[in-house]
Amino acid sequence: MRQAWLAEFLLLAFWVSLAALLWVIFGGAFGWWLAAALSVSGARHIWQMHRLESWLRRGRRAQPPQSWGLWGEVFEHYYRLQRRYAKRKKRLARVIREFRESTAAMPDGTVVLDSAWRINWHNSAAVRLLGLAGNRDIGQSITSLLRAPAFDRLMREQAFSRAIEIDSPVDHAGRLSVRVVPYGSGQFLMLARDITRLQRLENMRRDFVANASHELRSPLTVLGGYLENLADDDQIPADWSAPLDAMQNQCRRMTTLVNDLLELSRLETDAPAEPDERPVKVAELVGRICNEVRAQVAGDRVIETDLDAEIGLGGVENELYSAFSNLLLNAIRYTDSGGRIGIRWSRDVDGRGRFCVSDDGIGIEARHLPFITQRFYRVDLARSRAQGGTGLGLAIVKHVLQRHEAQLEVQSEPGKGSEFCCVFVSSRMRELTTKEARS
């Protein structure tokens, strides 16, 4: 490039020197000779610009014009940029082609959306699963073609961190899992998967558990009644007392297990709970739970409460009763006699509601924490069975919280106790007047 600039300066010096030579030979005004030389130099630059414009107008498909000096370098740089752009374009086209070929082969429906939710591209699986009309739907808004309340809410709130389930628009008995993933600059990738078979298997499992639990409830009721009559019969020999007590305990345990299974089945089957117009008075509900627990199983354990009576919660009272009572019973089961259990209901700085049950019991090792809400998972199997636990309490708590848009936070340390906190979103919180709180 330096040589090109040097050549241009040398050419300019040549024109100036030529003007001086002509002035010496022919005389006259030196300014006119200099102006003529500069005009010839300027005409050369105009001609080179004309050649560049003509080459660019032809689409830069031809070879660049041949020249020397600075203009030769300009033509060469343009040509290199052209080749680099062509290579980048081919590489990008190859990536797009590979992307479309790979997504076209996917069994899941794939739709590319722009910032206004308009369809830019889709594969054949999307036509089959979402009922799209092929290329005719390109440019159409996906919210106009896929009408489902859950999907509309997902796109409106842009809660793209989770997948949603919707009814299939082409098969009334079908079920789809839909996920939207943002990428690039204002673009979105929508994935739709057919989960009809999984849904049917899940329904079969729930139906089996519900039906089996219903079938077990009647014989357990009869068996429990007979055992109670035998235990109260004075004619039964004394050495039968221990076996009868053991059978009654096992019968009660089985009855509790059946009731918990039925509760889980109902929570999984029913539609998610919507906030009630009449808020649940959590302080009153927890007070009722504490009174029942103290009278039945608390023993000499101390239960302390710190409840804000002016904070209500939008939800289903009997479900919240089940979740809160299970947390309290768990704390009692894993706290030795003489221990302390604390219950707190308050609102945090973010406006969320926090219902916490803490204890100074045996605690839970960190390796157990990811699994404690699974069905029949027990940290201490022997202690749980001895205390009458079914292994379903925290699973019920998890399902109730999911239906109330809440999360379960657990902190525990072996030998120092545990704290279970139910965190409710601020939209579920309700302010109670003093009159409402006391009524």
Residue 427 lies inside a defined structural domain of this protein: yes
Q: Does residue 225 sit in helix, strand or coil?
A: helix
Strands 175-183 and 353-359: unpaired
- Cβ burial 25-55 (10 Å sphere, 16+ → b, else e): eeeeeeeebbeebeeeeeeeeeebeebbeeb
Q: Which residue has the higher pLDDT, 434 or 409?
A: 409
CA distance 304 to 213: 36
Residue 433 lies inside a defined structural domain of this protein: yes
Cβ–Cβ under 8 Å, residues 319 and 280:
no
How many C-beta neighbours within 10 Å does residue 211 have? 11
Q: Which residue has the higher pLDDT, 313 or 250?
A: 313
Q: Mean pLDDT score of the chain, rounded to an integer?
A: 80
| Shared-domain flag, residues 80 and 203 | no
Q: What phi-psi label fits residue 388: left (phi over 0), alpha (psi between -120 and 50 degrees) or beta? A: left
| Shared-domain flag, residues 310 and 253 | no
Phi, psi at 347, each rounded to 5°: -120, 135
* pLDDT confidence bin for 436, thresholds 50/70/90: low
* pLDDT confidence bin for 68, thresholds 50/70/90: low
- pLDDT per position as a tens digit, 370-424: 888 887 777 665 555 555 566 788 888 888 888 888 899 989 888 888 899 999 9
User: Is it the case that residue 327 has pLDDT exceeding 60?
Assistant: yes
Over range 238-255, report the average pLDDT: 80
DSSP 182-224: EETTTEEEEEEEE-HHHHHHHHHHHHHHHHHHHHHHHHHHHHH
Element (H, E) at 406: strand 406-413
Over range 182-192, report the average pLDDT: 86
Residue 276 lies inside a defined structural domain of this protein: no
User: Is it the case that residue 349 has pLDDT exceeding 80?
Assistant: yes
Cβ–Cβ under 8 Å, residues 130 and 190:
no
| Shared-domain flag, residues 398 and 290 | yes
pLDDT score, position 5: 67
| Shared-domain flag, residues 94 and 118 | no
pLDDT score, position 174: 85
| Shared-domain flag, residues 110 and 93 | no
Contacts of 257 (CB under 8 A, 6+ apart): 390, 392
| Shared-domain flag, residues 367 and 392 | yes
User: Is it the case that residue 263 has pLDDT exceeding 90?
Assistant: no
**Listed residues 158, 179, 194: the one ending a domain:** 194
Q: Which residue has the higher pLDDT, 26 or 192?
A: 192
Cβ–Cβ under 8 Å, residues 131 and 147:
no
Residue 374 lies inside a defined structural domain of this protein: yes
Q: Which residue has the higher pLDDT, 53 or 85?
A: 85
- pLDDT per position as a tens digit, 16-64: 777 777 777 777 777 777 777 777 777 777 777 777 777 777 765 666 7
| Shared-domain flag, residues 418 and 292 | yes
CA distance 379 to 359: 16
What is the dihedral angle through the alpha carbons of 244, 249, 251, 255, rounded to the nearest 10 degrees? 160
pLDDT score, position 291: 86
pLDDT score, position 424: 92
Question: Beta strands of 116-271 (E only): which ranges?
Answer: 119-122, 164-167, 175-183, 187-194
Residue 135 lies inside a defined structural domain of this protein: yes
Most confident of 65-79, 196-210, 239-253, 331-345: 331-345
Range of the domain at 300: 282-438
- pLDDT per position as a tens digit, 108-167: 888 888 888 898 888 888 888 888 887 888 888 888 888 888 888 888 888 787 888 888
pLDDT score, position 423: 92
CA distance 374 to 30: 100
CATH number of the domain that 252 lies in?
1.10.287.130
| Shared-domain flag, residues 90 and 111 | no
| Shared-domain flag, residues 367 and 419 | yes
**Listed residues 144, 170, 194: the one ending a domain:** 194
pTM of this structure: 0.57
CA distance 251 to 257: 10
Over range 259-274, report the average pLDDT: 69
User: Is it the case that residue 213 has pLDDT exceeding 70?
Assistant: yes
pLDDT score, position 356: 93
CA distance 347 to 417: 23
Q: Which residue has the higher pLDDT, 233 or 362?
A: 362
| Shared-domain flag, residues 331 and 428 | yes
* pLDDT confidence bin for 354, thresholds 50/70/90: very high
pLDDT score, position 259: 76
**2-11, 313-322, 408-417, range with the lowest pLDDT:** 2-11
Residue 274 lies inside a defined structural domain of this protein: no
CATH number of the domain that 354 lies in?
3.30.565.10
Percent of the chain predicted with pLDDT > 70 = 87
- pLDDT per position as a tens digit, 219-232: 878 887 878 877 77
pLDDT score, position 146: 84
**Listed residues 230, 246, 269: the one ending a domain:** 269
| Shared-domain flag, residues 290 and 432 | yes
| Domains in the chain, number | 4
pLDDT score, position 295: 73
- Per-residue tokens: 7: 């050549």
Strands 429-431 and 119-122: unpaired
Contacts of 141 (CB under 8 A, 6+ apart): 116, 117, 118, 119
In the block, residue with structure tokens 């000779």: 33
| Shared-domain flag, residues 299 and 394 | yes
Residue 275 lies inside a defined structural domain of this protein: no
User: Is it the case that residue 362 has pLDDT exceeding 80?
Assistant: yes
Helix ranges (H only) for 334-392 are 381-386
